[in-house]
Amino acid sequence: MLADSKSVRLVFCVAKFNENELRFKQKISQNSAAPETEAMSIILDIEWTQILQLETINLKMREIYTEL
């Protein structure tokens, strides 16, 4: 059950990251977005990348701890 919960959280993070990445690429391709909006999109993209990395590390640490 715990493994399923981990998988669901990781899938959610990946989906959210992909959603923000797509939104970022659409805004850049439109070239009509204000510079502030583009900057915010870049910040969101970076934040979701960091969250995904932290979640992955967290899940791996839990797996290691569980194995001990």
Which pLDDT tens digit goes with each residue over 8-66? 666 676 777 777 777 777 766 665 556 666 677 777 777 778 888 888 888 888 877 77
The pLDDT score that the predictor gives to residue 35 is 62
The pLDDT score that the predictor gives to residue 6 is 66
Burial class (CB in 10 A: 0-12, 13-18, 19+), 66: exposed
Spatial CA neighbour of 52 closest among 22, 9, 3: 9
pLDDT category, 4, cuts 50, 70, 90? low
In one letter, which amino acid is 4?
D
The pLDDT score that the predictor gives to residue 43 is 76
Answer yes or no: are the C-beta atoms of 38 and 6 closer than 8 Å. no
